[in-house]
Structure 1
Amino acid sequence: MISAADTVLVVTPVPKDLRDALSADYALRDHARGGDGAWPSAPGIRVALTTSMAGADAALMDALPDLALIACQGVGLDKIDLDAAKARGIAVAHTPDVLTQDTADFAIALIYAVSRNIVRADRFMRAGRWASERMIPSRRVSGKSCGIVGLGRIGETVARQAAGIGLTVRYSGPRPKPGAPYPFVADVAELARQSDYLVLTCPGGPATQHLVDARVLEALGPDGILINISRGSVVDEAALVAALQEGRIAGAGLDVFAVEPQFDQALLAFENVVLQPHYASITFETRKAIIGMLRAAIAKAFDSSTFRNRISKT
Structure 2
Amino acid sequence: MAAVTSTIVMPISVMPTNVLFTQNQWQINTTAVCVATTENNTGTWIVTEQTPFHPVSHIWPDHPADRGDLIYQTKHYSVADCVVGAIEIATQQLYIASDIPVKRDTEGWVFVVAHYIALPLVIVAGEEVTLAVDKVYQQGLSRGHSGGHLSSLALNKVLHADFWRKDPSRRDELGNYDFHSYAQEKSLVSENCSIDHYRLGKTLRKRGLNSAEMVANLAEITLRMNQQLAQWLQLATPIVMRREGDTLTDSRYWQCDLGPEGVIEIPCGGTHATSLAEYRALTIEFEIISDQELVMITTAIVA
What's the TM-score once normalised by structure 2's chain length? 0.27
Structure with a larger share of its residues in strand: 2
What's the TM-score once normalised by structure 1's chain length? 0.26
Structure with a larger share of its residues in helix: 1
